[in-house]
Structure 1
């Protein structure tokens, strides 16, 4: 399989996602305030695949949780389609690092769950489940329980579950972090293919710079806590290369070095 990245965004289009001077402060168990994000602003256009990297503790997951609607900003606004995010919504699907499938349901049952909750009829939700199970290569495992699946298969099932619910935005918080290297590379290729077919807006948190370059149309680099966007780097790579060829391409190596240097600088950026 060859990789043909799709890059860039149209600045004339209203952003699908907007972080508008977002600050998030938590209280520790001792009551001391900790600022995870400070005055963070950026836009993401519809259909973009944006990866977010940065030092440990820089607020990447906090950013994701606010976009998902699990937490509210302390100040500033998080908007989707110009509407402020105030709670979780089915139009924003979340893929976690752990698959988090319901163990009493089959793979098919897990994938059908979102449409069932939304009131989709039995025939339609079964058709959706079959479509996305085939897309992620799990048609033959539709009747298996989660504990009968490998880690990579569970992650593919989780992705199918999110896609079957047809969200406008897909949020992924280090979804491949616990996988072995071979499974991880295979999942990256599969995710790119799914993104090209569905053209959803996708925000992907990772600590792996090469993964960010391989997947993203843009990479955001966050500073050390309190997190802010230090760099917003477009990813432009040659077309028609295999994954192995792409990773050894000169432009890929240059982007990797640029991002690694930015992350090292990010660790030293003061509040």
Structure 2
């Protein structure tokens, strides 16, 4: 905390963050998926709440804000690596981890802004136990409804709906490896292998461990894709507090990523 204070010239507030968002190109009525690092902004008066309030003030309910709200700690423990758990634990975890519930289940490793946003009034969350999304505003219900259990980041996901709405991506202090939308490019090109996964869900009010097929998503190439994409000059760069930020059309980078994977897979 002392380092953050020392590196912040003046406190960031709802007002200053609002101004920075508008300077970057955010405006009323946009559909935008946001990925963020609160600490990258510097010291913020109000913390994550101030960031969420500023986003809502700029976009308004005439637009839509979306954030990924993934809960990977509900996944099959046999796939865990950070950290792994003993094999004799696996079935105990499968049998006992609570079922996913959109209004209750916390996110894992998604950041303070996301965890704050998902608790806000009128924010709705898709019903996927591992790869859910939360949304607020005009298209929130449309974007979050009927997310496919299998191929969770594919054609029946909120990512596809943002694509169809010609929405934007905002990266606040995070790199392209956090740019979830490029997973849609992976699905469209079959860039990754399929695997059987599992998670606890509610079926007819009862908790069950549900197995399904999904892609073994891999963001390792996303930074390389982002660097090449920026050479096209279709990314707006700016600052929110101390945070380096990027604003881009989601459709543009998904299409670019699709072409990139197709070329690499030839």
Using the size of structure 2 for normalisation, the TM-score is: 0.33
Work out which structure has the larger RCO, using CA pairs closer than 8 Å and 6 or more positions apart in sequence. 1
